[in-house]
Every structure is written in structure tokens, then in C-alpha cells.
């Protein structure tokens, strides 16, 4: 049995994610993180030092100094997530922190199933055409100018039809969707399938844009219960979900 929870990394949904993970009573929890991000979010200072040293970054540098060492596209993404999270009275990655804490509370094995974030973003940028890069930069500028309105519109458009939204993004940003969604879906589906082959109950917590693609890639005979971001954002649906998970065996 796989419980697939689609989240948003900038929204205040950590408490609900934690509850659902715990009530699924998983033997294993797969999270959309690489080892480096996992070590940062869990506060494993020694592991973070080793990770930074392996990347040629001074482990005693400040967060701002580290960002300067990263690629421009990674810096832009990180700063944007931080700003939008603040607007939502949350912290970037709070959904993953909640999933990790819940997994530990039920003694579930934790699997990091994602590619290295910095490498993925850098490769995406390197492989983009000039036209796609220009469109990406313009979108970033508009996001900074109209943050709240743009985020709300994006979320509304996405909730109406998740698959259609991703396909529209594919037309505008083919490289972005290929590298950040398609290729990661293939990798994460393989990692989730591995976990499911050795554990009876598995929970996977991933960004909601990955859910439809993962379901198509996972083994057809795998029993999947999916929870979507729109459900986590709707308080009435959240109450029903909590009741359903609480009453399930």
C-alpha cells in the first residue's frame, strides 16, 4: 500500500502532512529531498559540513555566503521560495520537515528519493534555449513585482486542472519540465517502487506537480491512495481526510 501525498513547499500545511503520515502507520517514508537538503532540514551539522566540503564550499560560511557560491538560477529559486513562504506564514520545506518528524515518530525508515537540487537547476539552465531563458527571467521579474497576486493565480490555475497546467508549462518551458519534472519523476518512481517492494506500508511526500506523473510510472498492480495539494489547502477537506485516515486500519 502506497500513500502518495502531494504538497507545496511554500504553504502552511505541515501539521496536516504530519498527521496524515503518522496515521498511515508507514514502515517507510519517501521524501522529495536529496541527502544535502535532508541534512540541512534535519539540522545534522556534521553531515552538512561534510556535504559542503565535498562541494568545495567553506562549511563555516554564512547562508548568504553559501548562496553566492551557488548558481544564479539556484539563488533565484531559493530566494523566491523563502519570500513566498514568508507570505504564507511558513518556511520553505516545512512540508518535508513535517514528513521527516512524523516518520521518525512512528520509527519508519526514511528514503531521500530526489536528485541533487543544485545540480538539477544548473543543468536545466545550461540546457535551456536563449528564448526559454528570456521567458524564465521575465517570469521571475513579474513574480517579484506581483508576488501575492501571481502566486494566488498560479495556485488557482493549477488547482483547476493539474495535468493541463503542467502541459501548458511544457509548451512554454520544455527544458524546465523535462529536467525538473519528467526526469525526476522517472527517478523518484523507481525509488518509491524499490521501497514498496521491501515494505508493506509506504508513504511518499512529494511536490503535487509530480503526483500524476508518478502514478503513471509506478507499477500498475501497486495499490495507491493519493492526497492532493488542493485537499491540504481546503479546511473542510482536511477534516474529512483526518477522519478517513484516523478510521482506516
Question: Partners of 153 in the beta sheet?
Answer: none
The per-residue pLDDT for 146 is 47
- The predicted-structure confidence for 157-177, as pLDDT tens digits, reads as follows 777 788 888 899 999 999 999
Count structural domains, the chain: 1
Which position has the higher pLDDT, 145 or 223?
223
Which position has the higher pLDDT, 136 or 84?
136
Q: Which residue segment(s) compose the domain that 80 sits in?
A: 2-247
Is the pLDDT at 219 greater than 80, yes or no? yes
Is the pLDDT at 181 greater than 80, yes or no? yes
Return d(Cα 203, Cα 178) in angstroms, integer: 25
Which position has the higher pLDDT, 204 or 159?
204
Q: In what helix (H) or strand (E) does residue 5 lie, and over which residues does it extend?
A: strand 2-7
- The predicted-structure confidence for 89-107, as pLDDT tens digits, reads as follows 556 688 999 999 999 999 9
Return d(Cα 37, Cα 181) in angstroms, integer: 18
Quick one: pLDDT band at residue 67, thresholds 50, 70, 90? low
pTM above 0.85, yes or no: yes
Q: Is 53 exposed, middle or buried (0-12, 13-18, 19+ CB in 10 A)?
A: exposed
Quick one: pLDDT band at residue 152, thresholds 50, 70, 90? low
What DSSP line would sit under 172-196, residue for residue?
H-HHHHIIIIIHHHHHHHHHHHHHH
Return d(Cα 5, Cα 48) in angstroms, integer: 27
Q: In what helix (H) or strand (E) does residue 200 lie, and over which residues does it extend?
A: none
Is the pLDDT at 199 greater than 60, yes or no? yes
Question: Partners of 206 in the beta sheet?
Answer: 6
What mean pLDDT is reported for the chain?
86
- Return the half-sphere exposure (C-beta side, CA atoms, 13 A cut-off) of residue 199: 22
Quick one: pLDDT band at residue 81, thresholds 50, 70, 90? low
Amino acid at each position: 500500500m502506497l500513500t502518495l501525498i502531494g504538497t507545496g513547499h511554500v504553504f502552511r500545511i505541515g501539521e496536516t502532512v504530519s498527521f496524515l503520515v503518522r496515521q498511515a502507520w508507514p514502515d517507510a517514508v519517501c521524501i522529495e529531498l536529496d541527502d544535502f537538503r535532508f541534512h540541512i532540514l534535519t539540522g545534522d551539522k556534521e553531515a552538512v559540513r561534510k556535504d559542503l566540503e565535498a562541494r568545495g564550499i567553506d562549511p563555516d560560511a554564512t547562508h548568504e555566503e553559501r548562496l553566492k557560491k551557488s548558481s544564479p538560477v539556484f539563488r533565484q529559486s531559493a530566494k523566491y521560495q523563502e519570500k513566498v513562504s514568508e507570505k504564507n506564514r511558513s518556511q520553505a520545506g516545512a512540508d518535508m520537515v513535517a514528513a521527516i518528524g512524523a516518520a521518525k515518530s512512528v520509527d519508519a525508515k526514511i528514503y531521500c528519493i530526489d536528485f541533487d537540487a543544485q545540480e538539477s537547476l544548473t543543468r536545466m539552465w545550461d540546457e535551456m534555449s536563449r528564448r526559454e531563458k528570456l521567458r524564465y527571467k521575465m517570469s521571475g521579474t513579474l513574480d517579484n513585482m506581483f508576488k501575492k497576486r501571481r502566486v494566488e493565480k498560479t495556485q488557482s490555475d493549477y488547482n483547476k486542472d493539474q495535468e493541463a497546467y503542467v502541459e501548458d508549462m511544457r509548451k512554454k518551458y520544455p527544458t524546465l519540465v523535462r529536467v525538473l519534472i519528467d526526469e525526476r519523476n522517472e527517478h523518484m518512481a523507481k525509488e518509491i517502487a524499490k521501497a514498496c517492494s521491501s515494505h508493506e506500508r509506504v508513504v511518499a511526500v512529494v511536490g503535487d506537480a509530480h503526483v500524476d506523473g508518478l502514478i503513471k510510472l509506478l507499477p500498475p498492480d501497486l495499490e495507491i491512495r493519493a492526497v492532493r495539494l488542493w485537499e491540504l489547502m481546503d479546511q473542510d477537506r482536511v477534516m474529512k481526510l483526518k477522519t478517513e485516515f484516523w478510521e482506516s486500519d
